[in-house]
Structure 1
């Protein structure tokens, strides 16, 4: 009961703090999400472009798209877990330094995963409608359903990806909403870690579990939501 109460308080605090963070630093909202998506699609450092990595998985699975999708998800869950552990050591004491890295890293990993799945399912990653659908998918199924029901988003990701035309007004909506969501997740994770035990390695363990779990759920959502189209 106590652990659930602490988790509930952490989530509520995160929801209240996230919009304030992005209001104080609007560049964080408008730039880091799109930059993460751009790097995910085009590649950065040792990570090749999302489509190239997805094609490699497809070759390894002898052309079986569903198996390749599962491999893409498993690989990125591993990336997220390692990143979550590395950037959450130290709890709130190091939050000012590592929280931005955690947020940006999670955005990059999850964008790359969903982009890889979208590519395997036949979507054009250069299409702005598809890019908005990728960002929307990262919000997670529960958040998307809630926001669509409240008319805060026009439709689920697949409908956005296959809309008759691109809606430019949706670009900023997606970046703002996703920035708030990612910041809220990281803030909530850090509060949950430090409310119970102020032991650095505990923060790392919580980060590993939370980031890996959220990435797995988003991957499964993308798998269900982005239905196959004719591959070019």
Structure 2
């Protein structure tokens, strides 16, 4: 089953790569704004991070672990990612379930970045947050193929913001999100004949991918001295 899902995902990827760069950047920008700034009853990344930090007595690593655990649970709750207040009104060109999960994962990464001292208003940091959604394997594979030129840490700490790199990252991430949905749908379809198993597979896939992305962000976004954006 996993092999079939990977085959479907890899088959969808070339089509997803044709997603217009401007459109991809627009989609990811909306997801980031929702994830970082919050909306209605969906708290901002900074608020979530600060709340966890206070609860663990100021220990940054414990706060990061708590943030990751929280978002794994959110990602695994069937229906949650499609019922976030205001999500259905977002004019995004992606399926609601994929958009919702991306928002949950992006908020998790942004909260980790905030806890590590990064400025979430910095466009370089926002590009790095989006890059982390590719996961370690996704980033490593794209670095080997030269479809991505550098790591999330290098993006976040670059001397200047690179709009072209931001568009490139957005295109790669949207392609990855589309491919993941294809693989997930195939896995659920294969198990749908077994009562309750389809939902369990979906929750497990979402929770596991969120865990992997959280671990990658934790490892990648190490504490660094902030650099001002050069004019």
Name the TM-score class by shorter chain: 0.7 to 0.9
Aligned: 1:183 with 2:189: no
Aligned: 1:104 with 2:103: no
Q: What is the root-mean-square deviation in Å for CA atoms of aligned residues? A: 2.2
Correspondence for 2:218: 223
**Counterpart selection for 2:156 from 158, 161, 168:** 161
Report deviation, 1:19: 4.0
Question: TM-score by structure 2 length?
Answer: 0.85
| Inter-partner Cα distance in structure 2 for 1:217 and 1:24 | 25
What is the DSSP-based 3-state SS (H/G/I as helix, E as strand, rest coil) of the residue aligned with 2:193? coil
- Asked whether the equivalents of residues 84 and 210 of structure 1 are also in contact (C-alpha less than 8 Å), the reply is no
Listed as ranges, the matches of 1:42-121 within 5 Å are: 42-83=37-78, 100-121=95-116
| Inter-partner Cα distance in structure 1 for 2:18 and 2:149 | 23
Count of matched residue pairs? 215
- Asked whether the equivalents of residues 13 and 188 of structure 1 are also in contact (C-alpha less than 8 Å), the reply is yes
Correspondence for 1:210: 205
Change (3 A) 1:105 1:85: closer
Q: Give a deviation string over 1:188-216, Cα, whole Å, max 9, x none.
A: 01112213443573221111000000001
Q: Which runs of 5+ in 1 are unaligned?
A: 1-5, 88-98
Change (3 A) 1:147 1:21: closer
What is the DSSP-based 3-state SS (H/G/I as helix, E as strand, rest coil) of the residue aligned with 1:191? helix
Report deviation, 1:67: 0.4
Question: TM-score by structure 1 length?
Answer: 0.85
What is the DSSP-based 3-state SS (H/G/I as helix, E as strand, rest coil) of the residue aligned with 1:229? coil
- Asked whether the equivalents of residues 85 and 207 of structure 1 are also in contact (C-alpha less than 8 Å), the reply is no
- Asked whether the equivalents of residues 81 and 104 of structure 2 are also in contact (C-alpha less than 8 Å), the reply is no
| Inter-partner Cα distance in structure 2 for 1:134 and 1:86 | 19
What is the DSSP-based 3-state SS (H/G/I as helix, E as strand, rest coil) of the residue aligned with 1:164? coil
Considering fraction of residues, name the structure with more helix.
1
Change (3 A) 1:86 1:199: farther
Report deviation, 1:147: 1.1
Deviates more, 1:31-40 or 1:161-170: 31-40
**Counterpart selection for 1:173 from 151, 168, 174:** 168
